[in-house]
Chains A and B, each alone.
Chain A
Amino acid sequence: MSRKSSLFVLGLSLALPALAAGVAMDDQSQLTPKPTAAPAGFQPPRESELPDNAFGKLVREGHAIFVDTQTYAAEYVGNGLNCTNCHLEQGRKADSAPLWAAYPMYPAYRKKNDKVNSYTERMQGCFQFSMNGKAPPTDSKVLSALTAYSYWLSTGAPIGKELPGRAYPTIPQPKGGYDIAKGKLVYAQNCAICHGENGEGQKAGAHYVFPPLWGKDSFNWGAGMHRINTAAAFIKQNMPLGKGGTLSDDDAWHVAAYMNSHERPQDPRLVDGSIDKTRERYHANDGVNLYGVKVNGVLLGQGTD
């Protein structure tokens, strides 16, 4: 390890214990993930089963928004992402936050905003944070269509009963803690070919094909994916695309930490323009994250404006 990086890791390890105290490691929106042990988990309906009527049409509109958010909900999106970048297989894939496991669990209390959220409010949160955009109005066509799509995917699912496969399965943190310098190497070897050397993603024409992982066109500091524990679980499960499960748990953590040690759009909940106050209120007890933490001598959480 170079002298520079060991100094850097030292700095981080000095900074982290205070933050780590009281950190709830189960934090993926308060889920206790249960991986799908059996291959025959919940099966959402097939597209071919969709009825050819007004309901089917609305569901198709929801599907379109979900897989091509850049086109079909452009006015509410402030970055280069699509819903399906995080919810794989058009929101169907078990262990990748499928819609059929989320929809039947709302309304639900969320620590994130300290109130009972409707499913609509939950989706508005996605637009505000993960999509770095603005919440579509409650009565908007976008949310009606996404609700219809989620409802349809949940056909036959029990209400209020947590289904296996709901979350990204949690993976244990490396014994010696995560290492951003190692993560940088993992990134260069496994991720840069699609997401670019600097996490900038890749476009074909006007739209991103490979989503940007940090910087102004990525998710903001308020998104769940800014938590290193959540990103590590996602990466382990799904990356490289089509080869999920091939990275070691440790490497998934290291590379998640590397990704989330970069600047990204500001948390829209910024308190009094203060990173410290925002960390205190929203990030200090939100899993493992680097918002408001100095990395390599630079304070993270400044945003990209």
Chain B
Amino acid sequence: MNTLSAVFRRAAPFGLLAALAAGAASAADGEKIFTQGGSNPAATACASCHGPQAHGLGAAGFPALAGTSSVYLAKQLHDFRSGSRANAVMQPIAAALSEAEIAAVAATLAAMPGPTVKPTSRADAVAGPGAELALRGAWDRNIPECVACHGPGGEGVGTTFPPLAGQSPEYLAAQLNAWRAGTRNNDPHALMGHIARSMTEDEVKAVSAYFASLGQWGAPQ
């Protein structure tokens, strides 16, 4: 489980920012930011778009956040602010959150239950271009197997490689297309951008549908 102290320990590479946030974090209430918004009214409540359980609102393309690494989530908020992940909705919200609020809400979201991911193996037979890309890659274009970084079933790995299972196909395709269009440029070491740019439109659709199909969200609590 992600405790606050674990979050801050893992966020250590952020150095000064994390240290500053740690000092003030106890004052920020992640649960309250999620359900009611931040202290600045421009920081609207996460739940209003991402859903009451943070399972996302698929058809609208709002991603699931529950159970995602707090370090990853905090980085995305910082990247919305800086514009390295361009998003007209999230940019003003991220800009209106304080460092302490980002840390607190990221921890709250990370602690919420994530999806159940269908067990898969790289050894599984593949049917269709989505599974093909996920489990075999397209090495003639330097595209590794998606699961080589995002983990079995796309469950996500560590603090850097986000879960894909349980996201909507709309969100996943939108992200791949954002890398292709150059509006998302916040991948560490540019690991993801060249992959998305090497994919065909059919592959974008197919692999998005494939990973979306592997996550099951539990009933609302």
Contact = CB atoms under 8 A, between A and B. Distances in A.
Interface stretch (A22-30, A159-167, A226-234, A236-244): A236-244
Given A210-B157, A241-B149, A68 B191 contact: no
B50 interface: no
Contact of B157 (A64, A190, A209): A209
A71 B155 CA distance: 18
B136 A90 contact: yes
B144 A242 contact: yes
A262 interface: no
Nearest to A245: B142
A204 B155 CA distance: 8
Nearest to B132: A47
Nearest to A63: B123
A7 interface: no
A280 interface: no
Given A194-B149, A242-B195, A71 B157 contact: no
Interface residues of A, number: 30
Interface residues of B, number: 27
A238 to B, nearest CB: 10
A242 B191 contact: yes
Interface string A41-72: 00000010000000000001001110110011
Interface of B: 121-123, 125-126, 136-137, 139, 142-144, 147-149, 151-152, 155-158, 160, 188-191, 194-195
A281 interface: no
Given A67-B123, A72-B123, A243 B152 contact: no
B122 A89 contact: no
11 contacts: A64-B123, A65-B123, A68-B123, A71-B121, A193-B188, A194-B149, A202-B157, A204-B151, A205-B152, A209-B152, A242-B195
A209 B191 contact: no
A207 interface: yes
A242 B143 contact: yes
A243 B193 CA distance: 11
A73 to B, nearest CB: 11
A157 interface: no
Given A47-B136, A93-B139, A68 B122 contact: yes
Given A68-B121, A209-B157, A241-B144, A204 B152 contact: yes
B107 to A, nearest CB: 21
A72 B121 CA distance: 10
A243 B148 CA distance: 13
A148 to B, nearest CB: 15
A207 B152 CA distance: 9
A240 B191 contact: yes
Given A204-B151, A242-B142, 4 more contacts: A47-B126, A68-B121, A72-B123, A89-B136
Contacts of A194: 149, 160
A244 B191 CA distance: 11
A191 to B, nearest CB: 10
A71 B123 contact: yes
A67 B155 contact: no
Contacts of A93: 139
* 8 closest A-B pairs by CB: A64-B123, A204-B151, A67-B122, A89-B139, A242-B144, A68-B123, A209-B151, A202-B158
B75 to A, nearest CB: 12
A202 B149 CA distance: 10
A72 B122 CA distance: 11
A279 interface: no
A78 B151 CA distance: 21
B189 A190 contact: yes
A71 B147 CA distance: 16
Contacts of B160: 193-194
Contacts of A47: 126, 136
Nearest to B125: A60
Contacts of A171: none
A89 B137 contact: yes
Contact of A204 (B157, B189, B190): B157
A264 interface: no
A47 B135 CA distance: 12
> Which of A65, A88, A194 has the most chain B CB within a 10 Å cutoff?
A194
Nearest to A85: B148
A66 B194 CA distance: 27
